[in-house]
């Protein structure tokens, strides 16, 4: 796509009020064309629907509407092919499309803007754009969930340490750990779906701020564009961007979840953990250290979350002090919005194949799962089953662990005689309660890490991710 050469300040849609042309620097500074051009499919769709609304209102006849439709389709073809000549002095995608429509369709093209403002036009375009984005994001999130589930099912018997404070805590199944992220992504999908319900409100017909001055059937217009309803207040419709902010907030939460998953994997790939190995396809080497294999893809997933946070804060800051209604400040919502969409799409494209390529070192995980007193809570639970209050049991096990550390022995390595010095309730059946497998089996509650509980969760998760989150 190329820009057509035009004298600075010429051809402005509002030029009748002005005697002098625009300063070239001011013109470049105020133009949004460099970034809002991606909205052209939505602008054309909205314009075609507006032409139908004008016809229903008796403001244009069928022949005029057909001429506008033909012109808009010609504009669409030029944009799709890359032949469209953008003009900087027309400021934005809306006026570029309108001016080209007038060139192709003649004076009738100038009727299209009847009762319409760029204020309600841009609000419509953003909402149409976000509607499409939300649909594609949901499919992408389901693909990430499927990749996690595939690995979970492949390793449904693999034990590993669970951590709190980055300290070994209790044994869990690797599948259980991966399913935690599936649950997080469930809620991300729900947040985007909920956002979509508020996005799906028609602003068109609000005009600049006071509403269209013609008998536009906005309910019919809403149905035409597949919106649930028209906006109920014209000032609100053009003045707020909370639908953008809500999307950016949901995106930031999703980014946080992806970042934590990436952080887990990068940590597990260290020599200190050695729980997972990244495939060569999703790792890089060092320019100086030949032995290195760096989890760069995971690290960048983690790093790009900062962009998502920044975009949310940028738009919140832009909007916070604006008097009603529309202000040019609001033009600054688009680059953060588009950057967030592009960033999310990139992250969600790379995550499924990266997850599929991971090699988990289950033997090392299993060894770590039973080390450093990971079944201490199970010893406390054993004493509770013998009738001891949990707080007393906790104190006894704490002293037992201290003894084991002093002797350099794990709990399972302490003799029955040693254990009984801490509580006479401990009997020879205690050793069976202190294995990793026993610890896992004991946690059979709904949502627990026991194999049967995890199997149920896997089956339920498969069903969930295939369903529409808007149900």
Q: Looking at the annotation, which residues are catalytic? A: 165, 286
Residue 2 host element (H or E): strand 2-3
DSSP state of 90: G
| Integer Rg of the chain from CA | 31
DSSP state of 164: E
Cis peptide before 325 (omega within 30 of 0): yes
Listing DSSP states for 26-45 in one string gives HHHHH--HHHHGGGHHHHHH
User: Using alpha carbons only, what angle is made at residue 119 by residues 116 and 121, rounded to the nearest 5 degrees?
Assistant: 60
Residue 207's contacts (CB-CB under 8 Å, 6 or more residues apart) are 115, 116, 117, 119, 120, 213, 234
In the beta sheet, which residues pair with residue 284? 294
Q: Six-digit token pair at 141?
A: 């999130």
Upper half-sphere CA count for residue 90 (Cβ side, 13 Å): 20
Q: Six-digit token pair at 307?
A: 């962009």
In this structure, the number of other CB atoms found within 10 A of the CB of residue 49 comes to: 21
- Contact of 440 with 370, CB cutoff 8 Å: no
Distance between CA atoms of 95 and 10, rounded to whole angstroms?
Answer: 13
Distance between CA atoms of 340 and 130, rounded to whole angstroms?
Answer: 12
Q: Six-digit token pair at 361?
A: 């070192």
Q: Six-digit token pair at 251?
A: 């995106």
Distance between CA atoms of 47 and 394, rounded to whole angstroms?
Answer: 70
End-to-end Cα separation, the chain, in angstroms? 42
Q: How far is CA 297 from CA 132, 195, 258, 466, in A?
A: 27, 29, 12, 27
């Amino acid at each position: 796509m190329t820009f057509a050469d035009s004298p600075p300040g010429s051809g402005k849609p509002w030029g009748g009020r002005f005697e002098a042309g625009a300063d070239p620097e001011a013109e470049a500074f105020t133009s949004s064309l460099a970034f809002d051009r991606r909205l052209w499919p939505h602008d054309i769709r909205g314009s075609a629907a507006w032409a139908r609304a004008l016809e229903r209102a008796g403001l244009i006849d069928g022949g005029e509407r057909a001429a506008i439709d033909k012109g808009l389709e010609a504009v669409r073809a030029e944009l799709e092919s890359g032949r469209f000549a953008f003009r900087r002095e027309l400021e934005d995608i809306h006026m570029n499309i309108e001016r080209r429509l007038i060139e192709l369709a003649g004076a009738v093209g100038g009727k299209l803007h009847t009762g319409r403002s760029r204020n309600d036009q841009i609000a419509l375009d953003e909402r149409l754009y976000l509607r499409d984005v939300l649909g594609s994001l949901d499919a992408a999130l389901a693909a990430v969930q499927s990749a996690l589930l595939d690995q979970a099912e492949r390793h449904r018997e693999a034990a590993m340490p669970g951590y709190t404070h980055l300290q070994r805590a209790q044994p869990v199944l690797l599948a259980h750990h991966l399913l935690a992220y599936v649950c997080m992504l469930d809620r991300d999908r729900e947040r985007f779906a909920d956002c979509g319900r508020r996005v799906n409100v028609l602003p068109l017909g609000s005009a600049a701020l006071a509403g269209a001055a013609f008998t536009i059937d906005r309910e019919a217009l809403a149905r035409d564009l597949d919106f649930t309803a028209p906006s109920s207040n014209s000032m609100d419709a053009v003045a707020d961007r909370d639908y953008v902010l809500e999307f950016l907030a949901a995106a930031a939460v999703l980014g946080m979840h992806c970042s934590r998953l990436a952080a887990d994997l990068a940590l597990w790939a260290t020599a200190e953990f050695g729980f997972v190995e990244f495939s060569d396809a999703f790792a890089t080497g060092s320019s100086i250290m030949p032995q290195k294999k760096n989890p760069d893809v995971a690290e960048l997933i983690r790093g790009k979350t900062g962009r998502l946070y920044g975009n949310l804060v940028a738009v919140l800051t832009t909007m916070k002090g604006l008097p009603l209604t529309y202000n040019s400040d609001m033009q600054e919502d688009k680059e953060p919005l588009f950057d967030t969409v592009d960033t999310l799409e990139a992250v969600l494209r790379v995550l499924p194949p990266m997850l599929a390529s991971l090699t988990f070192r289950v033997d090392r995980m299993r060894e770590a799962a039973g080390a450093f007193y990971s079944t201490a809570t199970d010893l406390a639970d054993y004493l509770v089953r013998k009738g001891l209050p949990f707080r007393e049991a906790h104190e006894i096990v704490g002293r037992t662990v201290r003894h084991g550390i002093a002797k350099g022995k794990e709990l399972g390595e302490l003799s029955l005689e040693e254990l009984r010095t801490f509580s006479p309730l401990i009997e020879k059946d205690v050793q069976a309660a202190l294995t990793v497998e026993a610890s896992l089996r004991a946690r059979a509650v709904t949502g627990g890490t026991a194999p049967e509980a995890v199997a149920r969760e896997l089956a339920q998760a498969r069903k969930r991710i295939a369903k529409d989150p808007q149900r």
